[in-house]
Amino acid sequence: MNKIRLMLTFLCLFATVFAATAMAGTAESQLGQLLYFDTYLSLQQNQSCASCHHQKAAFADPLNAQDPWNNVVSLGSDTTLNGGRNAPTASYAAFIPTFGLIEDEGEKLYAGGQFWDGRANTLKDQAKGPFLNPVEMAMKDEAAVIAAIADPRNKNYKSYLKLFSSAYGIDLQTLNLADDVQVMNAYDKMAQAIAAFEQTNRFTEFTSKYDYYLAGKAKLNAQEQNGLALFEGKALCSECHPSAAEVVRGSIVPPLFTDFTYDNLGIPKSENPMIAGLAIDYGLGERFITEKGKFRVSTLRNIAFTPPYGHNGFFATLADIVHFYNTAGDGSWPAPEVTDNVNRDELGNLGLTPQEEADLVAFLMTLSDGYKKERPTTFVLPPITPLQ
């Protein structure tokens, strides 16, 4: 379908060397960094944003990555509770457009939005959710979060006083926690700061081997080259995960490896004890009845660092999910959790050999950041989604 072509062609006309770099040292993003790693802002003072979205796991859950066969979802601050969905990576989430309809070849499709079901428009909107979610950070309300930020016992207290004042003109010492207007303004700015941090280079590196290959500064080996050819051809991966760069005014706009739309891949219901007893997860279908079973197409950047795979963590390894894409619907897999809207146009019955599956995995490994420390200087980044 290559739905992203319409979106990227438009975006790239306006792409500039954005400024995730310029933002990196601002008071706002410094504040966001402190908030992102602060476990004091959870019910049991044991969980932060980074607990489920840590850099060492490409901003997904490091415990899941360590044992993707058993840890398919994240535990909450109350460690007897957990959600039903695998924590998605926060890397490159800054480029996800706001939720809405796009048109592709006369068909209107939902695209964009944060979370697996797009229910938050922006990073800022998304950042407001986990603090109050009972299976995540589990704070009672917005006032409880702001009270924890303004608590002198918080190790970041002095820094918060300075940074809330310099970034937003908010004096935490005089803020009235009984005043809903003041609390909600502070909570809104807290989320904005976290989102600003998530827009920095730390989350948007573009330093993979594939990025250097696109810039003409690295070569793919024979297996990786074959994997790329399969990705763009027989395996149909690029239909929803576009791999082609755009050239704008002589500079390269690197691909994001997602078209941001929604699909039901036909993933089976998980029998993992953490979530086996939960109700059927309809994804976007919880919001729009015609979209049952659909979840947002994830970026493949850093995919090797973020097992398990699928919204419910059904697949423990890249080899597992590649094999599913190749053979879905052949009778060797359990039935889809949701049978409506299952996509069998772009996955299943692909006819890949075991060697071709291995070649695809080898190519996917080239999408991991860290091949070099700095991104290629020939790059121009796509526009980052506005915070508001």
Name the residue ranges covered by the structural domains of the chain: 20-198, 209-365
Tokens standing for residue 214: 């696109």
Class of domain 20-198: mainly alpha
Position with higher pLDDT, 382 vs 179: 179
Examine the pLDDT at 61 and tell me if it is beyond 70: yes
CA distance 148 to 299: 34
> What is residue 19's predicted lDDT score, i.e. its pLDDT?
38
pTM of this structure: 0.93
- For tokens 């790693």, the residue is 37
Examine the pLDDT at 282 and tell me if it is beyond 90: yes
| Alpha-helix runs per DSSP H in the chain | 4-13, 20-23, 27-36, 49-52, 62-66, 123-127, 142-149, 157-168, 180-198, 209-214, 222-232, 318-327, 354-365
In the predicted model, what is the mean pLDDT of residues 72-97? 97
Per-residue pLDDT tens for 112-165?
Answer: 999 999 999 999 999 999 999 999 999 999 999 999 999 999 999 999 999 999
Structural contact between residues 104 and 117, judged by C-beta atoms closer than 8 angstroms: no
> What is residue 6's predicted lDDT score, i.e. its pLDDT?
40
Mapped onto helix, strand or coil, the DSSP state of residue 268 is: strand
- For tokens 């299943």, the residue is 348
CA distance 68 to 79: 18
Structural contact between residues 204 and 219, judged by C-beta atoms closer than 8 angstroms: no
Do strands 246-248 and 251-253 pair parallel, antiparallel, or not at all (unpaired)? antiparallel
Give, rounded to a whole angstrom, the gap between the first and last alpha carbons of the chain: 30
CA distance 217 to 77: 44
Q: What one-character-per-residue DSSP string does 210-244 give?
A: HHHHHTTS----HHHHHHHHHHHTTT-GGGTS---
Examine the pLDDT at 371 and tell me if it is beyond 80: yes
Nearest to 65 by CA among 75, 57, 73: 57
Nearest to 84 by CA among 34, 131, 136: 136
Do strands 262-263 and 295-296 pair parallel, antiparallel, or not at all (unpaired)? antiparallel
Share of the chain above pLDDT 90, in %: 90
173 CB contacts (<8 Å, ≥6 apart)?
150, 161
Distances (CA, A) of 210 to 89, 240, 298, 300, 375: 19, 18, 18, 12, 11
CA distance 284 to 294: 5
Examine the pLDDT at 14 and tell me if it is beyond 50: no
Distances (CA, A) of 61 to 67, 115, 313: 10, 14, 11
DSSP 8-state symbol, 299:
P
In the predicted model, what is the mean pLDDT of residues 378-387? 91
Per-residue pLDDT tens for 268-278?
Answer: 999 999 999 99
List phi, psi (to 5°) of 318: -60, -40
Count CA within 13 A, CB hemisphere, residue 282.
10
> What is residue 249's predicted lDDT score, i.e. its pLDDT?
85
- For tokens 């929604």, the residue is 262
Q: How many other C-beta atoms are found inside a 10 Å radius of the C-beta of residue 56? A: 11
> What is residue 248's predicted lDDT score, i.e. its pLDDT?
86
Per-residue pLDDT tens for 211-245?
Answer: 999 999 999 999 999 999 999 999 999 999 999 99
DSSP 8-state symbol, 269:
P
54 CB contacts (<8 Å, ≥6 apart)?
60, 61, 62
> What is residue 174's predicted lDDT score, i.e. its pLDDT?
97
Mapped onto helix, strand or coil, the DSSP state of residue 300 is: coil
Structural contact between residues 123 and 109, judged by C-beta atoms closer than 8 angstroms: no
Structural contact between residues 53 and 142, judged by C-beta atoms closer than 8 angstroms: no
Class of domain 209-365: mainly alpha
The most confident of the ranges 99-103, 186-190, 373-377 is 186-190
